[in-house]
Structures are given as structure tokens and as C-alpha cells.
Structure 1
Amino acid sequence: MSPRLKRSAWLLIASLQGCSLAPTYQPPRLDLPEHYREQTSDGPWHLAQPGERLSQHWWTLFQDKQLDDLQQRLLKANPDLAAALAHYDGAQAYASQLHAGLFPQISASAQPLRQRQSDNRPLRGSTQPSVYDSNTAGFALNFDLDLWGRIRNQVAAGDAQAQASGDDLAVARLSLQQQLATLYVQLNGLDAQDRILTSSLDDYTQALQLTRDRYQGQIASELDLTRAQSQLAEARAQLDEVRGQRNLAEHAIAELVGEPASDFQLPPTQALLTIPKVPGALPSGLLQRRADIAAAERRVFAANAGIGVAKAAWYPDFSLTGLLGGQTQGSGNLLSTGNRYWALGPLVNLPIFDGGRLSAQEHQAKAEFEEASAHYRSQVLRAVREVEDNLAQLRDLQQEVQDEQAAVSAAQNTQTLAMNSYQAGAVNYLDVVTAQTAALQAQRQLQALQTRQLQASIGLMTALGGGWSPEG
């Protein structure tokens, strides 16, 4: 081959190495609204792309040291999070394996043998020994030229899958953090319920003593006495139920932070958590920080690269192979000129007939791309719905809390009036029981609504991928 022809051949090979049969990648198109329906946005929607996320310590917006300590313990000791991290490390290692295909593969071998050949071996010469030594050592080289981008698309798909696995790790971490924050808010609410019931028990105990004194003084009936006793016992039962629920929440928190429930205990919280102020506008671009959306988009990219891999299988596969080594019959220098062997040349593999296997693989790759695209769209729509749900919950619960606060004030007024009237002999104890029961229910309902507000706030933070900047 002439030097000019050789140069032309190498230039052709070099240009083909930049070739890729994967379709030009475009993230799936989505028709999204310009802003959240429940709250006006100050920015346009953006398609999810891998990139920076908000601070992983979003729970600090609640300004609770005990919650922060629990979250730190979760990050260090939760076994499910450790498993997700190990899965991510495995995905990274697999991507590194695929990268190795871009480079020449060189191996070395050595084979010192003592062997005997059959006396009846075909074409055996009369002077050949039956037993002899054979020492062989050498190097082998193989390099796939990847003219159609098969390996490069495999690498691109592997990298995208590794990125998606990293996003899956972030999803797992955020989910566990959300579970912990939700349980902590529940425990905080149960402590508040405990305080309400304990205060009511004190009131009911005093009311029972008053009724007992009146009964002994033949001012109140035995019916009034049994009503007071029943009311006190019922309140104690409610307190027992609340403390039982708190134990369950405490055990669940222990599991999340990687500690045995038997050795774990949290002191009662003394005040309700503060609900973080939601910014006046939530840019829809915050959805870019949702790890599940980023993971879905990376899997679309990987599936797109998979189409390139399937298409490349239709074309001839060119690789370069080489051998270099030495061989002796038990003595002599393996590296001497007479003992050396070598080989160098191209290897071409071209499919001729495969019974439709390659066609089926290409159809499969395209179907996987459509599946990944549909999953991506579903993930974005779910994200939008979760943001809208929690915004609506916060708005509606705020109004409900205001109404319930009015109900609590009225019920407490009624309770005071009923007790004063009973002491004056104007009403019987049934009116007192009814008023006290209504006041207790109103207080507990108000506290339950406040807990739901906190849970909706957690839901909004996680729906946005991890809260919002403190400055809004």
C-alpha cells in the first residue's frame, strides 16, 4: 500500500471514530403552565437537568436543634441509606468498566509446560520425542476501533445511569429525611396533646372534687358525681392513647436513625415547632432540583444512547489485534530472535444472518426510550401535583386554624360560664360536662390542625426538592 493510501485510510478511520448512530438527544417536551395555580411564580418553567440542588439541610428552616441532631444521626447510621450509597458506588464502578472499552486491552501470559504427545498422533515424525518441555510467554493486544460509536454510546449510557443512580441516592436520602421530619412533627404534636390532656385532667380532678363535696353536702345528685367520674376516666384513657402513640413514633424514629428502639428515648418537646414562612413566589425552576426528575431525565438520555448501540450492531466491527512473545522447548532464551513470535492485523466481524436478533434489539432500544420518556413526563407531572397539593393544604389549613381558634375561644368561654352557673346552682352537671368536652375537643382539634400544617410544610419542601432559600 502506498504511503498516500495509508494516510488516507488512517484519516478515514479517525473520522469514523467520531461517528455516533444515536439520535440527536432532546429531553421530552412538556406543556407546562407558566406558574403554580395555588401561588404565583416569579419565574418560567424549566426542564429538569442534572445540576445543583438546594441545601440538603432543609429541615433547619424549622429551627429545632433536636430535629437537626436526629437528621445528622440519620445521615450517619441509617442502614437503608448505606445500602443506597453502596448501590451508587456499584453504578459508578460499572460505568468505569465501560470506560475501559475505549482503550487498548493488553494482557500478558506465561505457560511453562511439560507434556507428552500420543504415539499415534497424526503426522507425528519418527524423530519427535514423546515427552518434551514447552515454555511460552507473551503479550496480546486488542483494540476495538469503535467506528460506529457502539462503545462510546455504551459509555455515555453507563455514565448517565451512574448519574441517575446518584440521583436515586439523593431521592432515598430525601425520602428518609422526610419520614424522620414527619415523625418528629407527629411526636411534637403528641407532646402538645399530652399537655392539653394533662391540663384538662387537672381541671376535671378539681371539678370532680367540687362535685363530690356538693354531693356529700346533698347539693348535687349522684348522677352529677358519676358524670364527673366518667369524664375524668375518659380523659385519662385519651391521655394513655396519646402516650401509646408517642411510644410508636419514638420507636420509628429510633429505626430511622439506626438505633435499637429499646435503647432510644427522646425527651418530651416543650413547644410546637414554628411553621417556616413560604416565600411569596416559588420559582418553578426549583423543580430542577428534584432528584427523581433529574434521575428520570438521565435515564431518557441513557435509553437514547442505547439506540445508538443497537444501530451500531448492524455495521462491521473493526478491531486491531496483536501478539508478541517467545517459545522454547524447555531451554534457551525466550527473547532470542529465533524463539520470538508475533502477529499484527485487523479483525473484522460483520453479521450476515441472525434470525432477526439485531432488528429485535433495535426495536427494544426504541421501546425503552419511549418508556423512559413517558416515565420522565409522569415524574414531572407528579412533582407539579405534589407542589400544588401542599400549597393548597397550607392555604386551606391556615383558614381552618383561624376558624378553629375562634371555636376554642368560644368553647373555653362556654366552659367557664357553665362551671360558674353550676356552682351557683343554675344548671346541672350535664351542662358542665358538655362544655368541658367541647372545649377539650376544640383544643385537640386545633393542635391536630397545627400538626397538619407542619406536615404540609414538610411536604412542600420535599416536593420542591429540598425546601427553599431562607431569603425566599
Structure 2
Amino acid sequence: MIRTPSTHRHTSNANKAGGLPIARPLASLAGLALALALGGCAVGPAYQTPSTPQPAEFKEARGWQPAAPADTLERGPWWQLFGDPQLDELVAAVEVSNQNVAAAVASYAQARAAVGEQRAALFPSVDLGGAANRSGGGGDTRSASQYKLDIGASWEPDVWGKLRAGANGAQAGAAASAADLAAARLSAQGELALDYFSLRQADAQLALLEATVRGYARVLEITQNRFGAGIAARSDVLQAQTQLASARIDLVGLARQRAQLEHAIAVLLGKAPADFSLAVAPWRATVPEVPLALPSTLLQRRPDIAAAERRVAAANEQIGVARAAYFPSLSLSGSYGVAGSAVGGLLNASNSLWSLGLSAGQSLFNAGATAARVGGAEAGRDVAVAHYRQTVLAAFADVENQLAATRALLLQQDLRRLASEAADQVETQMLNRYRAGQVAYTEVVTAQNTALAARRALIQAQADRQTTAIALIQSLGGGWHATP
């Protein structure tokens, strides 16, 4: 901003015009500024979304029979497909209380503020200033007062598109931050669902082990009675005691695991573990049918892909900002003010002061610094492009992995169920034959251990199918419909 000294005054012309002497020069300057702005051009490269591999279908989905999304997702958010009201309540709390989500919300607000700051540079800035001075000195007892009031404006026309490139880059950064927020929400929701179902699986395992402990206690009682009657060896009693103690040890370990999962859920909800608890409840082993989408729609839905693409756009705009240094920078400034020895004199047009200015600057030699900055910006864009393409490839691999796991776990669950049913029958037969004195107790112990392992493996297979369904939903971006 340029202001004239307070001793420079224009008197007669101002009085004759009956108005401000700056009006006509300001009009000319405004016309020049408008011409410069309209004649401006962008020096950055035109942005195009980087190309990525787009297979026609997922390899692991060949032969897949997808469910129709109309009768699943349209009923509500993805976690509601598991039919657990307690999970629905917890996920709703994550939106409000999770600290990672809160940090992502704040980061998005910060990015939006940066957009506003960059856009403000496209418009003139106006300042108002005032001053009052009183001076005197020497043997002279007289003193003098001086008052000044002025208003000034400055503006840098965006002739080469540098400022607009900065604003566009900030806007792309804000869009990337919005995608980061969506990714943080999806991650917190998925982690909560995984921890919650792991906790419910622990409840199921605890119920199984508690029933097993009761069964082992009855077998120990039978064995002790047989030993007392002299028809069983003491080693049988010792084996029964060992087996019962081992089951109780597993019970204590599962209780510890459940407590840790409960603490993890509390942290996800933004609560201290001491202030949160989940009562034991039946486990809903629901595994929803996950309808598949085309790989191309995956690019529109995954928030991490969207964030990576927006960062490419932001890096592309930085090239324009760097290239603008090759061209002159222009700045327009003007001020109008009044000065006088009395406050009342400030209203007199004869005390008015004004100034107009147009400045231009151009670097003639900087030892290649501008070219280096442009090269650095182009390299930064190439880095962002590579990260974007890697994110897309990783997303495709993630979906393929979860599809393969979904298919395999379904087969494993059926086989685990058959194995568990067979092991239960063997356990019953061996216990009956032991009571009849037909087999040694070691065969009973072996059959019981095998049956317990088969039951626990079946529960684990059901839990794995649930967690894989959650992972598949997350890998698909949290839903089955493309972003509008």
C-alpha cells in the first residue's frame, strides 16, 4: 500500500470538483485492473485423472452369485445388515465420541479454512488508519498538533492464474481431507464391529467352556466313584482332574481376552474403560450376503482412493503456482486520506491526500531457482500419481483377498460343522463304553479333547466369516452403491 506524506496537499481542484480528487484516477485504475484480470491466463497444466488398471471383473468373483442390494443395503447403513441392535447403538456413538474421527473432523475444518484464506487473496484488501501527534521543543513553549485519517486498498490481479491455482489446490486439499474424514469414520466403524463381534464370540466360547467344565466335573465325579468301588485306577482320577483344571484355565484366559476387547471398545467410543461395560449377551452369528460391484465403481466409493486422487489434483495446481514465477507480478494500490492540525479540519476537502500506484516486478536472474521449483512441483505431482495408482491396486487386491477368504471360509464352516457333529458322537460313545468298562479312560480323554476342539473351531469359523464380511464391506468402501 502506498500513502503520501501528510505535508502533500491538493486544494483548489478538490474544491472546484465539489468531491474527491481521487475519483477519476480510481476509475481509470479500476478499468486497467479489470482488463488485466480478464486478460489473465492459467499457466498450470490442465488436470486429468491419472489412468489406473480397471479389470472388467474381480477374479475371485467369477462364478459368484451376488445378492441383490435392493433388499439389503437400502434398509440402512451396512452394520445394520448384521441384525444386532447393540452394535447399531455403539456405531452411532462412534460418530460422536471417537477421537480419531474428531481429529479428522478438525482437520477437515482446517482444510476448509485454508480454502477461504486462499480465495481471499483473489480480492482487494482495504485498510483504515488514523494517527494523532503533538510536538514541541526548545525554548519555544508553543506546541503543535497533527491529525491524520486515511483509507487504503491494495490488490494483486491474478493475471497468470497463480492465486486461482492456489485456491484450486486448497479446494482439492479440502476434498482430500473430506475423504480422509470418511475413511476415518469407516475405519472406526469397522474396528468397532470387529471388536464387538470378537467380544460376542468370546461370550459364545465362554458359554461353551462353562458347559464343558460342568461336564468334566460330572465325569470326574463318576471316575472318583468308580475308583472308590475299585473298578477304576487312580490314574483315571488324576487324568479327569487334569482335564477339568485345563478347561478352567482356558475359561480364565477367555475372560481376560473378553475384558481386553471391552476396553478396546470403550476407547473407540471415547470413554475410559472404567466407565464402560458390556453385559454378556447371545452372539448373533449372522453373516450377510455381500453383493458385489464392478471394479470401476470401487474407484468412486473407496474414500482412500478419493483422497489420493484429490491430492494428485492439488499437486497439479502447485505446478501452476511455481510456473507463475516466470512472469511479472503486478500490484495495484491506492489510498485517500485527510490531515490537519485540528480534528474538525479533517472534514475539509482542502486537507485531502491521495495516491495511486501500479507496481510490477520480475526476477531477471535467480540461478535456476524458478526452474528448480517447477521441476520439484512436477515431481511432487508424479509422486502423488504413483501413490494414487498404488492405492487403487491395493484396493483391488484387498477386495480379491476378502472374496477368496469368503469363499474358503464358507466351505470350512460346513466342514467344521460335520467334524464337530462326528466328534460329539465319538465322545458320547467313548463315555458310554468307559462306563461299561470296555475302554480305558485315556480314550475318553482323547475323545473329549477332540470334541471340545471341534466345537471351538466351529465357533471360530463362524466368527471368521463375520469378520471377513466386515473386511469385505470395508474394502468395497462401506457400501454397494457408487457415490452420486
Change in 2 beyond 3 A, CA 1:116/1:164: farther
Whole-angstrom distance in 2 between the partners of 1:363 and 1:320: 30
Q: Which moved more, 1:274-283 or 1:161-170?
A: 274-283
Whole-angstrom distance in 1 between the partners of 2:242 and 2:30: 102
**Counterpart mapping for 1:106-185 below 5 A:** 106-115=126-135, 132-185=144-197
Which residue of structure 2 lines up, in the alignment, with residue 79 of structure 1?
99
SS of residue paired to 1:344: strand
Which residue of structure 2 lines up, in the alignment, with residue 33 of structure 1?
55
**Counterpart mapping for 1:362-401 below 5 A:** 362-401=374-413
- CA shift, 1:416, in A, is 0.9
- CA shift, 1:284, in A, is 4.0
Question: Number of aligned pairs?
Answer: 446
Structure 1 alignment gaps of length 5 or more:
43-52, 120-127
Letter of the 1:23 counterpart: P
2:84 to 64, 82, 91: 64
- CA shift, 1:198, in A, is 1.1
Which residue of structure 1 lines up, in the alignment, with residue 230 of structure 2?
218
Letter of the 2:301 counterpart: R
- CA shift, 1:9, in A, is 6.5
Which residue of structure 1 lines up, in the alignment, with residue 22 of structure 2?
none
- CA shift, 1:459, in A, is 0.6
> Contact 1:326 / 1:334 at 8 angstroms: preserved in 2?
yes
Whole-angstrom distance in 1 between the partners of 2:464 and 2:43: 53
Change in 2 beyond 3 A, CA 1:130/1:403: farther
> Contact 2:201 / 2:283 at 8 angstroms: preserved in 1?
no
Whole-angstrom distance in 2 between the partners of 1:267 and 1:160: 45
Which residue of structure 1 lines up, in the alignment, with residue 458 of structure 2?
446
1:194 to 198, 203, 206: 206
CA RMSD of aligned residues (A): 2.5
1:327-348 deviations in Å (ceiling 9; x for gaps): 1134542131221111123221
Q: TM-score, normalised by structure 2?
A: 0.87
- CA shift, 1:406, in A, is 1.4
Which residue of structure 2 lines up, in the alignment, with residue 100 of structure 1?
120
Change in 2 beyond 3 A, CA 1:437/1:20: same
Change in 2 beyond 3 A, CA 1:217/1:182: same
Change in 2 beyond 3 A, CA 1:395/1:115: farther
Structure 2 alignment gaps of length 5 or more:
1-27, 65-72
Which residue of structure 2 lines up, in the alignment, with residue 48 of structure 1?
none
> Contact 1:397 / 1:453 at 8 angstroms: preserved in 2?
yes
- CA shift, 1:467, in A, is 2.8
- CA shift, 1:357, in A, is 2.3
> Contact 1:394 / 1:457 at 8 angstroms: preserved in 2?
yes
- CA shift, 1:458, in A, is 0.8
Q: Which moved more, 1:409-418 or 1:331-340?
A: 331-340
Whole-angstrom distance in 2 between the partners of 1:298 and 1:380: 13
Whole-angstrom distance in 1 between the partners of 2:284 and 2:37: 68
**Counterpart mapping for 1:398-437 below 5 A:** 398-437=410-449
- CA shift, 1:378, in A, is 1.0
1:39-89 deviations in Å (ceiling 9; x for gaps): 1499xxxxxxxxxx9999321111110011111111111222212211111
- CA shift, 1:244, in A, is 0.7
> Contact 1:56 / 1:466 at 8 angstroms: preserved in 2?
no
> Contact 1:62 / 1:275 at 8 angstroms: preserved in 2?
yes
Whole-angstrom distance in 2 between the partners of 1:285 and 1:243: 43
> Contact 1:132 / 1:330 at 8 angstroms: preserved in 2?
no
Which residue of structure 2 lines up, in the alignment, with residue 318 of structure 1?
330
Q: Percent identity?
A: 39
